[in-house]
Structure 1
């Protein structure tokens, strides 16, 4: 595997990686970019204009010796397995796992809360947090 092939793979993975709606300021793509920097991968511009214009210093910690392209093959393969969701297809979970007897609506409510989280203001998030700490009886 050559350096340009590694860069092409990392660039493709970065373009296909889904956006992190819950943590737009610290997405996993920054880690992938940092891993690909020695091979010439260019960092992606922030897709959300509300995210700060300043780019965090990705190249702050440079490795002592440049990694070999051959050693990146397992890393790239691991990223593709995550991207393609191979493990959940290979080892599917039964529907009973997502509906525990003790609290069958737990995962439905959790997913609804995760979908609502990016649209919440800071104040609304704090109010919801306080509501969970106070017992209403």
Structure 2
């Protein structure tokens, strides 16, 4: 196991990452963790027959990897949404002032909806009149 500080920061950030209820089978931390493990963990030819083509062959730049971990922390802590809040008319377009409110409501309801509800909503999306 790698004792790199950047590796530990990556794992710590990924452990804190919230689960995506909308797509339970496709989680961002799983994909990033695979990339981090390929990058940091040594490759043994016994466990991975095609191991010579893995990312770990290139030299590790600790500073760059720490910057990548910092980017994960930035997203995790919502630094940019706090620094640049979206207010005013941006969230209430004149053509449909309730668009983003309705969108957030649908995203909250989607993981708990039944198969029939999802199918009806899909057909409503196909058959828009007016």
Q: In which range does the TM-score fall when normalised by the shorter chain?
A: 0.7 to 0.9
5 Å matches for 1:1-137?
A: 3-37=3-37, 38-40=39-41, 62-63=54-55, 65-68=57-60, 69-135=62-128
Structure ID, larger Rg? 2
More helix by share: 2
TM-score, structure 2 normalization: 0.77
TM-score, structure 1 normalization: 0.73
Equivalents in 1 of 2:65, 2:40: separation in Å?
Answer: 10
Structure 2 vs 1, CA of residues 67 and 29 (structure 1 numbering), >3 Å: closer, same or farther? farther
| CA RMSD in angstroms, aligned pairs only | 2.3
Say if 1:6 and 1:39, in contact at 8 Å, map to a contact too: no
Unpaired runs of 5+ residues, structure 1, are 41-58
Match of 2:48 in 1: none
Unpaired runs of 5+ residues, structure 2, are 42-50
